[in-house]
Structure 1
Amino acid sequence: MFRSIRHGLFAALAGFTVLICVFYTGLALVISYVTEDMLIDRLLAREAEAMAAHFRLHGDVGPPGNDWIQVHRSVESLPPVVRDKVLSGHPRAEIFTDTGQHYHLRSLDLGATGEPQHVYLLADVGPLLVVSKLFREVGGGLVAAAMSLIALALVLAYRLSRRLVLPLQVLADEVRDSSPEASVNFSARQRPDEIGYLAEKLAATLAALHSALRREHAFTRDVSHELRTPLTVMNNLLGQATSRTLARQDVAQLQASLDDMRATLDVLFALARATHIATETFDLRGGIEECLLRLLENADHGAERFALDLPERIDVIGNRHLATLLLHNCLGNALFHGQPGSPFQISFADGALCVVNTVDPDRAGVVQGFSHGQNLLLRIAKAMRWELEIHAGVNDYRVHIVPLRAH
């Protein structure tokens, strides 16, 4: 098992280089020896043709034209190792001996008028074997040249493997060093090849994964923090119910705690799905009026206390569901903190929605709804790239919302 892809690629290139070198070296040796044997066989064939022509003209066997070729008229005159080949039925053969001779044998039937006459051409080709002598004389130089070429090929394979794998190694190091807190930006994203495509997709996948992990962490933290207060209130009230009958005020407080938990869960789930909800352009005034109608249905407020200074349309960009939750809770908090019967002003000017209500001195310090979880409202605004400011002063309660306007 290789430690990295670079080592594996280098081993593959080096092995392929050595294999090619060995293969072509062996092929060159085979071609050299085959060419040498074919040349000798061709010389014997020409000698046999000349001897047959001489026999047809003169009726006898003439002397060979080369001193390294011998003519044997009978099998008995052949050397023992060659005689065995002829007796075993080999009219043509290449014979190696332990004493250093290298014979080529060819049987020749001259076809006399009487009985056929067999002649054996025996060539001791030892002096003609130039390939073996060449390798003995310059074999060291050839081996040195071959080793040098192999070493050069290995160096090139190492540099090539390093150059090819370097972008992948850099990408692997960047992935290893990435963290959920930091932004994902790989240097190979600008490459026009497959590595650039891989880096782009990997960066998008890691960014989505880190975002999901952050939302999961925030959801777990917010559930533990935001639901603790209403659960404590409900637990205390239910604990008292075992010893006495709950008063109407206690039941109202239980209902308020349930509403608080329901609203908190709505916001938490909306934030957890925030990156999966597409934004759109919608009329913010319609959302404000819808929230006011819902608040009027669930509370004892008169519509005459609301002073609206809004244009006919307020086209904004955001998520309609998140915007509705944000408006509902901001308006609900403002109504809860407000003094009964005091004017409730809602205006839109200079790109900002302003909600103002006079604070009831008797309810100073009392919390309800998201007044103890304004960070959730701020996260809703941030998810839509809106701006939110909440001022809970001594005399008034103000909320400023700057939505993302549609141009």
Structure 2
Amino acid sequence: MYRQSLRKRVAIAFAICVATLSVVWGLAFFAAIRLSEDRVLVNQLQRAADNYPTLMANPRGYDDASGLPESLREWGQTNPSEGLYEFTAEELHVAVVSAGNEQNNAFVVLDVAGIEAASSEDWWWLLLITSVVGALGAIGFGLGIIVMRRAVAPVWQLAKMVEDIDLENLSAGDHKRIEASRFGDDEVGVLAETIEKTLERISAFVARERYFTSSASHELRTPITVITGALELLEQSDLSTTDVEVLDRIRRSTLDMKTTIEMFLCLAREIDDGLYEEQFLVMPLVRQAIDQQRYLLNGKFVDVEIDFIDVEIGDLSRSVACGHAQAFSIAVNNLVRNAFEHTLDGQGPVTIHVEERVLFITNQVRSDADEQHTPTEASSPNGYGLGLGIVQRLCERYGWSFSLRADEVSVAARLSW
């Protein structure tokens, strides 16, 4: 599929490494064999030269055990079976062969004294061979690393490029840093091209999102401001009771629309200009939400019980939260609105309880509170008001915690920060 795929490059690199090591090891073993042969012949010739002009036959043949050297005579009389024997102490090698009769065997004796290396010399040879083997192993290991690094270098380069990109603050030109064209027509090139195109789409989306939120923030708020101003002018006129009620409904709808716009802009905005660590008072936002949504209880005999407790700071009115004040206000407004809307006439009270870093809002949904029911943890908040789904998203966005506990009698919302 690819002319020079990564898989093929790795296979070729591995084959080159193995072939190189095989050749080196073969040459090393061949050199060791030739060196051993030369050493044996040189030692045997040196021994003959030391005994010149008397040249001793070596090896020598013996027809029976009585002719063997004295150190071997007793062993030979035991009639050993055919084979090769080594006598280390005597420095003799003996071959027992058939002599053509069933009673005795013949013996061929090789005297290796002066031919085999001494024990101390063997240790030096062992040290030399071990050093050579270790050096070859180190060379092979280094060669393998070099070859494999060259084979996977494109993957490492691509990973480094991706690592250097700040995914939290993507710019319009971040996709150009991948430079997919430099990786060629292989798997790494396809991967680099895919990442480059993906980042290009994400960068374009982020640019569109920022343009939309900046434009929508102005374009959507302007009509709301105009309507609010017009309502203020109308309030200064002489209006009938019916007109005042109509203006109140328009004002509430305008306020709901403004809250909805602010809520969706908060969720759509990629960054919030460093407002995540803003500190604000909780109680004023809760009271504001209650005042804004109290109209939902008009005509209902429902009480609102407010309870603020802060055991650490002692001042019940100065409970502080950290995060985004506007988003927190939107979340509280949705919770209060949901509680007021789903509480029917006479099914009160609605309880709003604030402790240290926790807000509880509980409302009754059934008048028969004495009946026993098994409470359940709501798996989805959408069944108790669309706004609760927005609250869940806001909490996930700003690091707060939201849960909803509901049964057939009551619904309890919990918001912690």
Q: TM-score, normalised by structure 1?
A: 0.36
Q: TM-score, normalised by structure 2?
A: 0.35
Larger radius of gyration: 1
